[in-house]
Chains A and B, each alone.
Chain A
Amino acid sequence: MSSIGTGYDLSVTTFSPDGRVFQIEYAAKAVDNSGTVIGIKCKDGIVMGVEKLIASKMMLPGSNRRIHSVHRHSGMAVAGLAADGRQIVARAKSEATNYQSVYGEPIPVKELAERVASYVHLCTLYWWLRPFGCGIILGGYDRDGPQLYMVEPSGISYRYFGAAIGKGKQAAKTEIEKLKLSEMTCREGVFEVAKIIYKVHDEAKDKAFELEMSWVCDESKQQLRKVPDDLLEESKAAARTALEEMDAD
C-alpha cells in the first residue's frame, strides 16, 4: 500500500508518472493515524461517534471536543490533525452563516458539503499551501431530511449511509455494513455506534480512550446536540458487555 514517491512527492503541485499526487495521499495517511470517527444515517437522523485517544491522564474528560456544531442543524466530526480541523470547522461555520444572511434560510447540507470540499480542495492546488491533514464527517438535517457526507483531504466529498475514517476504519466499515440502517432509529443507532467504536479500539496499541457522540435527529428537534448523558452511559455499558461476550467466545 505504501509506495515511495522518490522525487514526485515533494510538492502538491507535482503529478507522478502514474498520475498520482503523493502529497495528498500522505495527507490521507495523517488521517489514518488518528482515532476512529464514525457517522451513520438512521431513518430519523444522523449519529456521529469519535474514539478520542487520550494522550495524558491529566486531561479533563469531556474536553477537547471533536464533534463541532456548524449551524443549528448540522455538525462535523474531524479526524486527523486537530489544528487543521479547527480551521475547516471555522470556515464551514462562516459559510453557513453567510448563506443564511444572503438567502434567508439555513444552508442545505448538500451545499455545505460542497463548500467545505471546495475549501479543502483549494489547498491542494498551490505549492505554497499544504493540504489539510484531516478527514471530515459532516452530518446534517435539512428540509430534504437527514444527510451524511464525508470529505477527504483530496477535496472529494460523497454522500453516505455510513462512513468511517481513522485507525479502525476498515473494521468499522465492515461493522456498519452489517447494520440495517434504514430501519434503525437514532436511539438504536447510538448503541450501535458505541458498540462499533469499542470493538475497533485496539487495546494493545492505544490504552485509554473516551467515546464522544453527537446526533441530529427528530428527537433532538433536528438540531445538533450531544447525545444525552444518560443515553451515552447506557450505550457505553452495553458496548462493554457486548465486547466481554465476544471475548468470552
Chain B
Amino acid sequence: DIDDVGHKYYLELVLEDVLDKDSTVNCTAEVLYHLGNKNIPPGVQFTIEGELKNTDEADNLFYNRIKSLEKELVAENIPDSHGNMSPEMEPIRLLAWAASGYVIWQNSTENTKFQLAQIKHVKQVKRSDEYLEFDYMILLHEMVSQEIIPWQMTVLWHPQHSVQVTQ
C-alpha cells in the first residue's frame, strides 16, 4: 500500500514460450495500480533476465507469406467453436494474442482478469508501406464478472518492429 498513490506489487515470474515449453526466461516486475482514477492503466516496469528467443526465421516466413497473398487476408472465428484452426492461422492468432495483451493492460484493474477468448473476425488492410495491418474484432473474457467483451483493434506489425495497437 502506498498512501495516496495506490497499490504496488513486486513480482518474480517465469516467462514460458507458448510454442516451446522448455524455453523459459526469468523476469521481475513492479506493477502499480493507481488509486481512484480507473482510467489510468496500471504502471508496469520489468526486467528480463537473459534474452528472448530469436524468431527471425518464423517472422520472415509469415511476413513474406502475407505479403505475397493476392487478396487481402480475411478470416473468422479463430479458433472455431471446437477449438480448431488451420495451421496458417496460428501466426494470426499469436499476433492477436500479443496485441490483446496491450489492450488488456490498458484496461486492467486489481479486480479484473482478462483473457483473449476468440478472434471473431480479422481483415488485412492494404498498406503502401512495409508494415502489415490487420483489423481484428476480438472477444475478451473477463474472469471476475464472467462477461464477454467485444473489442475492435487495429494492429500494425513488421518483423523488425514491435507490435503496435491502435485501438
Co-complex (A, B): no
Instruction: Give chain A's interface residues, CB within 8 Å of chain B.
Output: none
